[in-house]
Structure 1
Amino acid sequence: MPFFRVMLHGEHVEVPAEDGSEPIVGFYVTFTVRAPHADAAVLQARAALMADWHPEGKWGAVNRADAPHVRAESVRPVGWFTAWRSPVRMGYVFYPAS
Structure 2
Amino acid sequence: MAYFQVLLCGSGVLLASSSGGDPVIGFYATRFVRAANSELAEQLAKESVLSEWRPGGLYSDANKGGIPLLITDSVASVSLLTGIRKRRAKGYTFYLSD
Alignment TM-score, normalising by the size of structure 2: 0.95
Contact 2:54–2:60 under 8 Å retained in 1: yes
Percent identical residues: 32
Match of 1:50 in 2: 50
Give structure 2 stretches of 5+ with no counterpart: none
Looking at structure 1, the residues matched to 66 and 96 of structure 2 have their Cα atoms a distance apart, in angstroms, of 16
Residue 41 of structure 1, CA deviation = 0.2
TM-superposed CA distance for 1:89, in Å, is 3.0
Report how many residues are paired: 98
What is residue 72 of structure 2 aligned with on the other side?
A: 72
CA drift of 1:87 comes to 4.1
8 Å CA contact 2:33–2:87 kept in 1: the answer is no
Q: Offset of 1:93 from its aligned partner?
A: 0.1
SS in 1 for 2:66: coil
- Contact 1:13 1:64 survives alignment (8 Å): yes
Which amino acid counterpart does residue 77 of structure 2 have in structure 1?
A: P
Aligned to 2:96: 96
State the partner residue of 1:21: 21
> What SS class does the counterpart of residue 31 from structure 1 fall into?
strand
Cα deviation code 1:22-77 (max 9, x no counterpart)? 00000000000000000000000011101100122111211001100101111000
| Structure 1, unaligned runs of 5 or more | none
